[in-house]
Structure 1
Amino acid sequence: MNKIFFTLLIVMLCFSCKAQNQVSLNTNQSDDAKPKLVVGIVVDQMRYDYLTRFSNKFGEGGFKRLMNEGFNCKNNHFSYVPTYTGPGHASIYTGTTPKYHGIIANNWYDKEIKETVYCAGDDSVLAVGSESEAERMSPHRMKTTTFADENRLFTQMRGKSIGISIKDRGAILPAGHSANAAYWFRGKEEGNFISSTYYMKNLPKWVKDFNNSEAVESYLKVWNTLYNISTYTESGDDLNDFEEGFKGKETATFPYDLKKLYDKNAGFDILKNTPYGNSIVADFAIAALTGEQLGKDNITDVLTVSFSSTDYIGHNFGVNSKEVQDAYVRLDKDLERFLNTLDTQVGRGEYTVFLTADHGAIDVPTYLQSVKIPAGYINNKEVRTKLTNFLSKTYGATGLIENLSNNQIFLDRDKIKMLNLNLEDVQETIVNEVITYKHVDKVYSASTMNKTSFTTGIESLLQNGYNQKRSGDVILVPDTGFISYGRTGSTHGSGLNYDTHVPLLFFGKGISHGETVQKTEITDIAPTISALLGISFPNAAIGQPLEFVLD
């Protein structure tokens, strides 16, 4: 009996040791499974349908490689209003919405100091690489962490975080508060990538070398379509009434001689409005891989890259333009060479990429009107004048409105208190007045946002974008297809599908192959990457990891 017991004990110990070895092996595999580099790519103003509409013009190594070898979330949406660049980049990387991260717009009226502030502006720092007072930037207005911050904390600050974009906010907000660096493009007469004293005292040698290389100057050339313009059947006529174009050129039609147009279009800023702005970002991101030694060890680094020129081009020429189509055809080529460089410098299968957008865009309303689709324009000055007159008659006082911006009305609360008026009553009075205005679809007060919990519809999106401390007293929702903008070019900002539906592609190490039409939200990205890395989620993240994306 003792022999049998002893034999069973030996067998159990053997299985136990084997199991322990397997656990140890699996743990090591888990560590090895982490990518050496995570690359977050945001394409500014990219609607989801650009992936499908321009597909026949894409090669196999850019967008199609990400889709064919990675995971395509086809029904990905923003879950808040307003859909602008600053809130978009912040939400992608924090996994939460303006309600929590506090970036409620690109610019907003600050109720405390009674001035309009910029989402990345910071008077306590100075520009590095430029003497301009306009380039004093940091992430200090963003109230929460990004997944890049959490990776820095997890790795005891050994994992790097670098942000790159044409736009300062597109570089600064994604890289997070603890970033090693954020670099953005200073146009005008300079044409250089710069940073701020928030990150460093002097630009690194590799950045100075890039700025001195004349790489930027080489793009001051003729912009024509990459392929014969007659093959661009996925976009509208080149000559039309819906595009702004460039100063110094009579029509918004190809070709564009950028060197000739340089002086009348703010110098190097003209490159921002062409696909070459994206090419410059790709060039600089490739230089950063070597310059910052990204992905060179087993401690995960984070590189955030925002391609902003697509937004400038969309604003200028509109969703249906030949210029937008050419921008995406050329961006596809830039993505291909960037991915090929990652293969070479980091190692194929050693890095993870996601690609998404900070918002979509509406077709130019004048174009929509021309094809009998309901659309149009709202004049905010007229709204303010009409409302001011109404309030003056109602309360016998002027100056109750401090600011009207981002479809929000900010009231002078001190004056309301001085007049012994009830703030909520004034808010509701404005709601009942403004809802009668032409092309205003819905109006909500701050008290409604604070007291009512919405779970569906535009009301839920408004609430997710409403920050109690920073947002206004009354929120307006225009009719579908109506915008406050010029009559040429596209814009964005609503909670409608043309603004909320954007691509979401995952690719590389730890990512499954496949696709889904299940609805995903922009706030799911940061938790998914955090789960992949085994790190803490950003501190205010509300999204959920997309388990089906992870291999």
Structure 2
Amino acid sequence: MKILKSLLFLAVFTPLVSTAQKPKPAVITNKLTNAVARPKLVVGIVVDQMRWDYLYRYADRYGSGGFKRMLAEGFTCENTQIPYVPTVTACGHTGIYTGSVPAIHGIAGNDFIIQATGKSLYCTEDSTVNTVGSTSKAGQMSPVNMLTTTITDELKLATNFNSKVIGIAMKDRGGILPAGHTANAAYWYDDLTGNWITSTYYMNNLPAWVDVFNNQKLAEKYIKQDWNTLYPIETYTQSSADNNLYEGKLKGEEKPIFPHATSKMLNGSYSAVRNTPYGNTLTFDFAKETLKNEQMGKGDYTDFLALSLSSTDYIGHQYGLNAIEIEDTYLRLDKEIEDFLNTLDATVGKGEYTVFLSADHGAAHNPLFLTDNKIPAGLWPSSTILKSLNVELEKEFKQPKIALSFSNYQVSFNNKLIESNKLDADKIKEFSIKFLNKQEGVANAIDMEKVSIASIPESIKTLIINGYNRERSGAIQILLKPGLFSGYGTTGTTHGSWNPYDTHIPLVFMGWGIKHGSLNRKTTMADIASTLAALLHIQEPNGNIGFPIEEVLKK
């Protein structure tokens, strides 16, 4: 009887025991090493000033291997928004890689005012380091002003610093901030020499292969080519006529029309390449050499290449959104991305890398272009209004220049002056808010410390709160009416506001660990780092506020 009971016990419970002994793995693992499986390489492509709609506006002219390949093989998040203001380059690159916002990561603008001192600080400025690769001061930069870690830092920490991380962009901030504090290198472009340079924060001498690359003088070669359209100019039907009032002229030009004679702009500087699509070409050239010479994606650990394309921003500022120059730039960029993806396929292996494409911000249409087409818009004369505000403040509080700046659509006050003269800071704010709310074009001026009770939509409150860093942001947020932005020039465009034209950005993932599909629910820039952390099975950055976009990831 005892034997029979024992047999019955084993018959009933053995399958349960067997199942318990062989649990389903929690994560994908490498069968050979039993290690957590990860892509060989992650590549982040941030296109400076790329509006979301550029994925589709010129789609009938894109090839199959660039943007269309990423959409066809990858996963697109169609409603990705920037969760803060101001929407500018430094904040955007930092936000993507930290999963955070200026209130936490501290990069409160491209430039921002230290409220305690009243001094302006450039986002990557660092006087303790020196330029490597040039005699200019363009290399006195580092990530020291960023207060949090990045996803690239967390990858380094997770692999005991065995992963290789490199940042590349023509703009120093576009290469430095994404690469993080622990990067092997960050490189950016030097106008004086036409070289890729770095700083002593990373190394004391450029690698030999970078010197070899620089010695090719590719920037000079591209500038001498001039810039003409890729296709016959009459085929650019998605753009305004070439000669119009909305576009700015390059230095020395009589009209802002094709062909742009950049070859005449080599006057002791190689800066002209920035304002042409060749700036993107040069960046991809350097990125491909980086992949090859640094053997990225070839080791036992996941590497990360943080790549930013800056020329799209320069061209957008110069010509506005409806220019043939913009259409031509994106048609060329589509081909550049196709070539770069093919390079990754050949060197790292198709399906062995993960790539994402996004933007640091969008941009508004030119105000004159909008008003000519019966859409409300305009320029807000910030400098004139700042002077007028100071005149009124001096009348009321008996001190000159109490307001320092309207930078980043925020009012920064001379706090040292206010304290030394024992002025009432709250009354100064109240007076300034009343003054600003009477100015034409201002929708609302809001006390940063009282945003939660302001009579504005909750969604805009959140953007302001997320963008407010007490030590580095102004005391008042200025909200302009839709279609308006700060400035005087009637040509080109800019960005920086809460409006969808500045906040709606593309986000496409492709490659290892990524599903094919699309998503229309709202996601944010802050979700990118969380999604990468989930993909790589590493910790999120230490200031992260985003969430993994679960729909993107293969289970």
| TM-score (normalizing by structure 2) | 0.95
Counterpart for residue 341 of structure 1:
343
| CA 1:450–1:55: 2 relative to 1, 3 Å | same
Matched, 1:284 2:278: no
Please, what is the CA RMSD of the aligned residues? 2.0
Give, in angstroms, the shift of residue 131 of structure 1: 1.1
CA deviations 1:13-54 (Å, max 9, x no partner) are: 576456545646965259464111111110000001111111
Does the Cα contact within 8 Å between 2:114 and 2:471 map onto a contact in 1?
Answer: no
Residue number in structure 1 paired with 2:239 = 235
The answer for the alignment partner of 2:503 in structure 1 is: 500
Q: Give the SS at the match of 1:279.
A: helix
The residue aligned with 1:61 is 65
Q: What's 2:552 paired with?
A: 549
- State the match for 1:202 in structure 2: 205
Alpha-carbon distance in structure 1 between the residues aligned to 2:523 and 2:173:
24
Structure 2 distance, partners of 1:20, 1:260, is: 74
Q: 1:13 to 1:268 in 2, by over 3 A?
A: farther
**Equivalences for residues 68-87 of structure 1 within 5 A:** 68-87=72-91
Aligned counterparts of 2:442 and 2:547: Cα–Cα separation in 1? 34
In 1: Cα distance, 2:456 partner to 2:466 partner: 9
Alignment size in residue pairs: 548
Q: Is the 8 A contact 1:96 1:543 kept in 2?
A: yes
Q: Tell me how far apart the structure 2 counterparts of residues 386 and 317 of structure 1 sit (CA, whole Å).
A: 31
**Alpha-carbon distance in structure 2 between the residues aligned to 1:334 and 1:514:** 24
Aligned residues of 1:271 and 1:277 also touching (Cα < 8 A): yes
Q: Decide whether the 8 Å contact of 1:354 with 1:504 is kept in 2.
A: yes
1:52 corresponds to:
56
Residue identity over aligned pairs, in percent, reads: 45
Contact 2:118 2:414 in 1 (8 A): no
Q: For residues 21 and 218 of structure 2, what CA distance do their matches in structure 1 show?
A: 56
After superposing the two structures, state which structure 1 stretch, 298-307 or 84-93, moved more: 298-307
- For residues 177-326 of structure 1, the aligned pairs below 5 Å read 177-188=181-192, 190-220=193-223, 221-263=225-267, 267-326=269-328
| Aligned-partner SS, 1:462 | helix
Distance 1:86 1:24, change over 3 A: closer
Aligned-pair distance for 1:418? Answer: 3.9
Q: Answer yes or no: is the 8 Å Cα contact 2:356–2:508 preserved in 1.
A: yes
Give the Å deviation of 1:238: 0.7
Q: How far apart are 1:154 and its partner, in Å? A: 0.4
8 A Cα contact 1:33 1:510, kept in partner: no
Matched-pair contact (CA < 8 Å) for 2:353–2:512: yes
Pair 1:385 & 2:387 matched: yes
Q: State yes or no: 1:41 paired with 2:42.
A: no
How many Å apart are 1:214 and its aligned residue?
Answer: 3.1
Deviation at 1:125?
A: 0.3
Aligned residue number for residue 463 of structure 1 = 465
1: CA distance between counterparts of 2:316 and 2:442? 25
Structure 2 counterpart of 1:374: 376
* 1:117 Cα offset (Å): 1.1
Local SS of the residue matching 1:179: coil
Give secondary structure in 1 for the equivalent of 2:522: strand
- What SS does the aligned partner of 1:360 have? coil
Which of the numbers 117, 123, 129 marks the counterpart of 1:119? 123
Which moved further from structure 2: 244-253 or 166-175? 244-253
Give the match's secondary structure for 1:28.
coil
Is this contact kept in 2: 1:360–1:499, CA < 8 A? yes
Deviation string 1:396-423 (CA, Å, 9 cap, x unpaired) is 3323223332222222223323443321
Cα 1:205–1:375, aligned 2, differ >3 Å: closer, same or farther?
Answer: same
> Which secondary structure does the structure 2 equivalent of 1:277 belong to?
helix
8 Å Cα contact 2:38/2:302 also seen in 1: yes
Which SS does the other structure have where 1:316 is aligned?
helix
Q: Does 1:147 align with 2:151?
A: yes
Distance 2:222 2:36 in 1: 41
Show the counterpart of 1:531. Answer: 534
Shifted more, 538-547 versus 127-136: the winner is 127-136
Partner of 1:424: 426
- Closer, same or farther: CA 185–425 of 1 in aligned 2, 3 Å: same
Q: Decide whether the 8 Å contact of 1:35 with 1:351 is kept in 2.
A: yes
* Pick aligned residue for 1:175 from 175, 179, 184: 179
Matched, 1:487 2:486: no
What stretches of structure 2 of length at least 5 have no aligned partner? none
Structure 2 CA distance for aligned equivalents of residues 258 and 11 of structure 1: 82
Deviations 1:267-300 (A, max 9, x none): 3111110000001111111111111111113411
Counterpart Cα distance in 2 of 1:438 and 1:109: 26
Offset of residue 201 of structure 1 = 0.8
1:362 aligns with 2:349: no
Measured in 1, the distance between the counterparts of 2:167 and 2:112 equals 23
Instruction: Give the Cα–Cα distance (whole angstroms) in 1 for the partners of residues 27 and 109 of structure 2.
Output: 45
CA distance in 1, matches of 2:37, 2:234: 47
What is the CA distance between 1:105 and its match in structure 2? 0.5
In 1, Cα distance between equivalents of 2:456 and 2:246? 37
Deviation at 1:354, TM superposition (A): 0.6
The 1-side partners of 2:151 and 2:207 are apart by: 25
Residue 228 of structure 1, CA deviation:
1.2
Q: Which moved more, 1:196-205 or 1:266-275?
A: 266-275
> Does residue 498 of structure 2 align to residue 517 of structure 1?
no
Q: State the Cα deviation string for residues 491-528 of structure 1 (Å, max 9, x = none).
A: 00001010001100010011110011111100000000
Query: Offset at 1:168?
Result: 0.4
Q: Secondary structure at the match of 1:489?
A: coil
CA contact (8 A) 2:168 2:175 kept: yes
Task: Indicate if the aligned counterparts of 2:187 and 2:196 stay in contact, CA closer than 8 A.
Answer: yes
Indicate the SS of the match to 2:6: helix
Amino acid at match of 1:109: I
**Shift in Å, 1:235:** 1.1
Task: Give the whole-Å Cα distance in 2 for the aligned partners of 1:21 and 1:210.
Answer: 53
What is the CA–CA distance in structure 1 between the aligned matches of 2:38 and 2:300, rounded to whole Å? 8
Question: Which digits, 9 at most, give the CA deviation of each residue in 1:60-93, with x for residues without a partner?
Answer: 1110111010001111110111000000000000
2:6 corresponding residue in structure 1? 5
Is the Cα–Cα contact under 8 Å of residues 183 and 193 in structure 1 kept in the other structure?
A: yes
Counterpart of 1:391 in 2: which secondary structure?
helix
Query: Kindly tell me: are residues 17 and 469 of structure 1, through their superposed partners in 2, closer, same or farther at Cα, counting changes over 3 Å?
Result: same
8 Å Cα contact 1:450/1:468 also seen in 2: no
Distance, in Å, in 1 between the alignment partners of 2:455 and 2:129 is 39
Q: Residue 128 of structure 1 corresponds to which residue in structure 2?
A: 132
Amino acid paired to 1:543 = G
Note the residue ranges of structure 1 that are not aligned, 5 or more in a row: none
Residue 345 and residue 13 in structure 1: after superposition, are their counterparts in 2 closer, same or farther (change >3 A)?
farther
Q: Is the 1:95–1:541 contact (alpha carbons within 8 Å) kept by the matching residues of 2?
A: yes
**Whole-Å Cα distance in 2 between the matches of residues 224 and 261 of structure 1?**
15
Contact 2:446–2:454 (Cα < 8 Å) also in 1: no
Shift of 1:470: 1.0
Q: How has the CA–CA distance of structure 1 residues 119 and 230 changed in structure 2, closer, same or farther, with 3 Å as cutoff? A: same
Question: Following TM superposition, by how much is the alpha carbon of 1:119 offset from its aligned partner in structure 2, in angstroms?
Answer: 0.2
- Provide the secondary structure at the position in 2 that maps to 1:135: coil
- Secondary structure of the structure 2 residue equivalent to 1:335: helix
Q: Partner amino acid for 1:461?
A: L
Residues 394 and 340 from structure 1, CA distance in 2 versus in 1: closer, same or farther, beyond 3 angstroms?
A: same
